[in-house]
Amino acid sequence: MHPITDILLLLFVMYVAALLGGELALCLRLPAVVGEIVAGCVLGPSVLGWIGSASIASGTPVDMLAEVGVILLLFSVGLETSLADLKAVGGHALAVGVLGVITPFVMASTWAHGLGLAWAHSMFVAAAFVATSAGITARVLQELGVLGRREARIILGAAVIDDILAMLLLGIVTAMQGHGEVSLWPLLGTFAGAVGFVAVIGLGGSMMMRRGSGWLDAPQNPLSPLAITLAMCLGLAWLSTRFHLAAIIGAFLAGMVAAETRQRGELARSTSPLLAFLTPFFFVVTGARVDLGNLADAHGLAMLAMALAIAIVSKVVGGFLGAISLGKTSALIVGVGMVPRGEVGVVIASLGLATGLLDSTLYSVIVGMSILSSIATPPALAWMFRSQRASAEQPATSP
């Protein structure tokens, strides 16, 4: 009687799989998010096929629910990050963001050129190696309870800068595919717009909220502080896409602004059930998008291994160099935290497939790289934070 019936079954299966996968991961001392991604991969077309690729394609109901889930996740991460926290790490975040874009871009374009592609074309491929997906790292940092740590703040700040630069870069390389000419001024305008958006919302919004947030409690609706900040989250998520940034950047800014209110604690408590219900869909969908079939032959596997190595090494090196003044251990944590490409790489790859810039193998390689980098990061990050904590507890090795 209602097409919603099939979707309900799918949501039920995805949610149960996420719970089981997450629980299993926790038992193995891995972050729950790893289990959720793997659960998605198992349910997806590559293994069981219970989640068809059509039902999680871009713009479908399940995709939208997943997107709302990651938006709320970044909102709640922003809620744990105030402007003062980010300002304190501003210089490092800038260095990590910039180096974390340049290194993968140079390495990946050289690799793609080595595969026989023209430079302009290679640079498009390289653009898919650039953008860090903050969602996965943010979730791991949240699960580990280390969002207050300096490294975590640098990673989050760098992810915002990274997204701005990646957007600029994608604009340049897409323009280069056409007439071979890149018109500088429109691109600079877009860049200035994105920087201005982040600055105005981040600084202006935080300042406004610090001045007083009693008005959030003024409406008769008893949950008005939550409702108003969620409205702001949806609005800024949309607005940031108008400035060519990912929706999650706007959601993160909304959370940061909400972190300046005196209702911060109440907001953090009430967003956690929202995350418990909605974010698992995002990670299951991410996992279900892995198509192992396309990578089953030796050639595909070798290309994937190479792409993955470049993706990991280039981000770790870029992040490490940017944060080296914090000491080697912290710099390495920052570098590893920047590794996941997640949905941003997948989106660029889809764009390439649609415009004919990528063939289906290169597409699968980039999608595989994006997703494997996301699966590999959480356990590595968890392990590093735990061993850093363990060594900090031994006075001999602490600074």
CA 206 to chain centre: 23
Q: Which of 110, 183, 272, 387 touches a copy of itself (CB under 8 A)?
A: 272
80 phi, psi to nearest 5 deg: -95, 5
Measuring CA to CA, which residue among 267, 314, 288 is closest to residue 109?
314
CB of 10 to a copy of itself, least distance (A): 9
Q: Which is nearer to a copy of itself, 32 or 336 (CB)?
A: 32
Q: Does 54 bind a copy of itself (CB under 8 A)?
A: no
According to CB under 8 A, which one of 271, 330, 370, 388 is a site residue for a copy of itself? 271
Question: How many angstroms separate the CA atoms of 256 and 245, rounded?
Answer: 17
Residues 217-246 that bind a copy of itself (CB under 8 A): 219-221, 223-224, 226-228, 230-231, 234-235, 237-238, 241-242
Q: Is 392 in the site for a copy of itself (CB under 8 A)?
A: no
Q: What is the CA radius of gyration of the chain?
A: 21
Q: Which one of residues 88, 351, 353, 376 is an interface residue with a copy of itself (CB under 8 A)? A: 351
Cβ-proximal residues to 247 (8 Å cutoff; 6+ apart), any chain? 67, 71, 237, 238, 240, 241
Minimum CB–partner distance for residue 114 and a copy of itself (Å): 28
Q: How far is the C-alpha of 64 from the C-alpha of 6, rounded, in Å?
A: 16
Task: Answer yes or no: are the C-beta atoms of 139 and 31 closer than 8 Å.
Answer: yes
**Which helix (H) or strand (E) is 121 found in, with range?**
helix 119-127
Site for a copy of itself in 119-178 (CB under 8 A): none
Question: What is the total count of residues that contact a copy of itself (CB under 8 A)?
Answer: 54
Shortest separation between residue 118's beta carbon and a copy of itself, angstroms: 24
Query: C-alpha 306: how far from its chain's center?
Result: 22
User: Rule CB under 8 A: which residues touch a copy of itself?
Assistant: 1-5, 7-9, 11-12, 15-16, 19, 22-23, 26-27, 32, 58-61, 63-65, 67-68, 71, 219-221, 223-224, 226-228, 230-231, 234-235, 237-238, 241-242, 247, 270-274, 276-277, 347, 351
